[in-house]
Amino acid sequence: MTRISWLKKIWNGRSRGISTVLGTVFLTLVIFAISTNVFLWSLSRNAEYTLAVKEENQKTTDRLSENVIASGASYSVSEEDVTIKVTVKNAGSVAIQIINLWVFDTAQQKYTNKPVDLSLNPGNASQQILTVALSGANKSDDLVSWFVTARGNTVPLETKKGVIIAQVSQGIGSVSMDFASFRYYNVSKVGSSYILENYTCGAEGFEVPADEHIAFEVFLTNYDEPEKREIKLFSGSILWAIFPVMGAQPRCAGWHIVNVYGNGTIAPAYTTVTLTYGETVKVIFASKTDVNREGFNPSSATDWYQQNKGSAAVNLMLVGKIGTSTYGQNVPFVSIYFAE
């Protein structure tokens, strides 16, 4: 009996020690599990926060990257309906979506809006004709309008070109040229094709090599008022350089209109270039001959006359159709220096 009691005392002492150890291990596991869950929860919350900040920063960047130009706006009022014609261009680096148009009548101090669904990729343009109902509006009122994009930017509709339209359509003709974008390209032959080098960058066209085959790039805009007719340019359209000679007949050089593929290759035949009202179109002049009559022939100033160097006055002689009528316009626009 004495021995059994002694063994029980020993075992009871050990069992209490084991229970303490097991309790400590269990508590440690519980604490570890809780700590792990808290750590993982913190990581997930931090990842969500980082993602939210990144998305918000991207939205801000995209909003600031929007550059929408609404130009050439014109207004007409019939009863209480206001019709707006405007050309919208995405001049930014991100795609844009226009969702609303607001119109404000400054004379009546009234405004209205109209939902719009217009999406444009970078570089694209679209002519829009939109009609909104505005109570009390009449033809003599001053109207102001603006677009709202999906990112919250406002785009005022610019009407400043009204003066230019009047000067062009009633003065020298229906087409105007953008002086700042006047450029030239060197023309090289690759196999049986001719290619514009460094297309679509080129170089400023106000000083060019006289003895190299080159092409000129111009941007033309149709400002035909009030009919707003479509203009088609035929293959006889030419960029003409006139070199003054003191005491003698002036000398000339010319570049006919051509089509150019996206990779810079000049098309062997010419397809009519069309300018819709309010649209700006890139036009290339590169051939010494009318492409549709005699095929493409690269042109340089000295191809026409060996001494065609120095300063020259340059005219655009455009021929084609405007609406259903024949069309012809001479645009005196720049002077060029043909260097050695």
Report the pLDDT value the prediction gives residue 9, as an integer from 0 to 100: 55
Look at the pTM and tell me if it is higher than 0.95. no
Report the pLDDT value the prediction gives residue 116, as an integer from 0 to 100: 92
- Domain closes at, from 118, 143, 159: 159
147 and 177 assigned to the same domain: no
Q: Are 206 and 339 in contact (CB under 8 A)?
A: no
196 and 86 assigned to the same domain: no
Q: Are 243 and 252 in contact (CB under 8 A)?
A: yes
Asked whether residue 201 is assigned to any structural domain, the reply reads yes
116 and 193 assigned to the same domain: no
Distance CA(134)–CA(108), nearest Å, equals 10
Report the pLDDT value the prediction gives residue 163, as an integer from 0 to 100: 39
User: How far is residue 182 from each of residues 76, 191, 209, 212, measured CA to CA in Å?
Assistant: 34, 28, 15, 18
176 and 209 assigned to the same domain: yes
pLDDT tens over the chain, length 340 residues: 555 555 555 555 555 556 666 667 777 777 777 777 777 777 777 777 777 667 766 667 667 788 888 888 888 887 778 888 889 999 888 899 999 999 988 878 888 898 999 999 988 988 889 999 888 887 667 888 999 998 888 888 887 444 344 445 444 678 888 887 899 999 999 999 999 999 989 999 999 999 999 999 999 988 887 677 899 999 999 999 999 998 888 999 999 999 999 999 999 999 999 998 878 899 999 999 999 999 999 999 999 999 899 999 999 999 999 999 999 999 887 899 999 8
Asked whether residue 91 is assigned to any structural domain, the reply reads yes
191 and 241 assigned to the same domain: yes
DSSP character string of 143-201? EEEEEEETTS-EEEBP-THHHHHHHIIIII-SEEE-GGG-EEEEEEEETTEEEETTTTT
155 and 168 assigned to the same domain: no
What residue type is assigned to position 103 of the chain? Answer: V
Dihedrals phi, psi of 293, to nearest 5 degrees: -100, -40
191 and 314 assigned to the same domain: yes
Which two three-digit tokens encode residue 175? Answer: 């087409």
Range of the domain at 204: 164-339
Asked whether residue 34 is assigned to any structural domain, the reply reads no
Nearest to 74 by CA among 113, 115, 130: 130
Q: Are 269 and 256 in contact (CB under 8 A)?
A: no
Report the pLDDT value the prediction gives residue 316, as an integer from 0 to 100: 93
Which two three-digit tokens encode residue 232? Answer: 């088609």
